[in-house]
């Protein structure tokens, strides 16, 4: 089968991602084989590709060289084989979720990390959802616990997680201020944001403090975020992006945890859980029209490295998807 091949860690996708041939994987117990129609890339794709920060390698993605054939995870496609112990899916079922080495014609996925593809969505849209949609859902619902009438600030609102977080916060009844580049303001307003700030021009907090801040951009100092947060507000650090090879921004998350000891503000972070129940919840929201899956770039499998480059260069509004079939 055709597959993206990733044989060594590196920061430049053009130098470490290639297209080649490899054997079709075989599903094991509790797994299914998916014929991939589309797969999406996200910031995590780059981290796994680069092997940075170094804790990524310790998390099971390979110490000296990549453990998996390629760094893809989010996918949409059709079940073509079922492993032992799987009863939730049958051959021919259209599914979306996360799998191993998803930038390929076929990928193995755990049954507990898949759900049936939302009705009315094509595979490109469905593939845009899993990792980013799960992260946004769990940030808004479980960690920020956003309530109707609250003032919410979303930093990094035009990115893969941000476009879902804006919509979910609005669906919860919040008043949403979004932060992104001025060129992307119109697209973010179209997703339901009440107000958009240009990160290069506008200061956050000038219009008062926020009940909740979702920091998806991952690079503002904690002291700045805390000044914009209500005295008893909640800050959720969804990402941490710096150039540090050792911690890569996670030091800011650690400092946030320590600050909880001396402040009424609740400062937290989390790792998203890939699970079928939350995928099914996202599917319901997508089918109801409460949530949409914005896709700004669609590239073929042979241009997967370019897809990661589009993401790194900040050219996307929403998701970048690789169309496999």
Per-residue pLDDT tens digits for 132-187: 999 999 999 999 999 999 999 999 999 999 999 999 999 999 999 999 999 999 99
pLDDT at 101: 98
* Global pTM value: 0.96
Domain boundaries, the chain: 2-129+293-323, 132-269
Token readout for 292 is: 């949409």
pLDDT at 248: 54
Quick one: which H or E segment has residue 287? Answer: helix 276-288
Quick one: which H or E segment has residue 254? Answer: helix 250-259
Token readout for 82 is: 């079922």
Token readout for 277 is: 């129940």
Quick one: which H or E segment has residue 282? Answer: helix 276-288
CATH architecture of 132-269: 3-Layer(aba) Sandwich (3.40)
Cα(149)–Cα(131) distance, integer angstroms: 28
pLDDT at 154: 98
CATH architecture of 2-129+293-323: Alpha-Beta Complex (3.90)
Within 92-207, where are the H helices?
123-127, 130-138, 160-171, 185-190
Q: Which residues of the chain have pLDDT under 70?
A: 240-250
Instruction: Name residues whose C-beta falls within 8 Å of residue 32's C-beta, 6 or more positions apart in sequence.
Output: 79, 81, 82, 83, 86, 89, 95, 108, 109, 111, 114
Cα(192)–Cα(82) distance, integer angstroms: 40
pLDDT at 249: 59
228 neighbors 209 (Cβ within 8 angstroms): yes
Cα(304)–Cα(280) distance, integer angstroms: 28
pLDDT at 230: 97
pLDDT at 242: 52
Cα(175)–Cα(196) distance, integer angstroms: 12
pLDDT at 112: 98
């Amino acid at each position: 089968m055709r597959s993206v091949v990733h044989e060594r860690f590196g920061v430049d996708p053009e130098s470490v991602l290639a297209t080649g041939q490899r054997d079709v994987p075989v599903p094991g117990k509790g797994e299914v084989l998916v014929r991939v129609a589309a797969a999406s890339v996200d910031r995590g794709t780059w981290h796994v590709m680069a092997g940075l920060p170094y804790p990524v390698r310790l998390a099971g993605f390979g110490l000296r060289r990549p453990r998996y054939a390629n760094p893809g995870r989010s996918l949409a496609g059709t079940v073509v084989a079922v492993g032992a112990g799987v009863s939730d899916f049958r051959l021919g079922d259209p599914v979306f979720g996360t799998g191993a080495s998803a930038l390929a014609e076929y990928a193995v996925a755990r049954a507990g990390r898949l759900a049936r593809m939302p009705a009315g969505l094509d595979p490109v849209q469905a593939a845009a959802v899993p990792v980013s949609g799960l992260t946004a859902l769990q940030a808004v619902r479980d960690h920020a616990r956003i309530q109707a009438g609250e003032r919410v600030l979303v930093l990094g609102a035009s990115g893969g997680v941000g476009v879902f977080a804006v919509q979910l916060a609005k669906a919860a009844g919040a008043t949403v201020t979004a932060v992104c580049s001025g060129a992307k303001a119109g697209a973010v307003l179209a997703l339901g944001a009440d107000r958009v700030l240009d990160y290069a021009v506008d200061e956050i907090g000038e219009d008062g403090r926020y009940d909740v801040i979702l920091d998806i951009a991952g690079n503002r100092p904690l002291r700045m975020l805390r000044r914009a947060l209500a005295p008893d507000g909640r800050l959720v650090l969804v990402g941490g992006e710096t150039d540090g090879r050792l911690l890569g921004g996670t030091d800011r998350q650690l400092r946030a945890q320590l600050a909880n000891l001396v402040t009424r503000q609740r400062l937290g972070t989390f790792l998203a859980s890939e699970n079928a129940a939350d995928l099914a919840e996202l599917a319901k929201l997508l089918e109801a029209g409460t949530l949409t899956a914005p896709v700004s770039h669609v590239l073929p499998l042979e241009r997967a490295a370019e897809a990661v480059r589009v993401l790194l260069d900040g050219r996307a509004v929403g998701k970048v998807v690789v169309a496999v079939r």
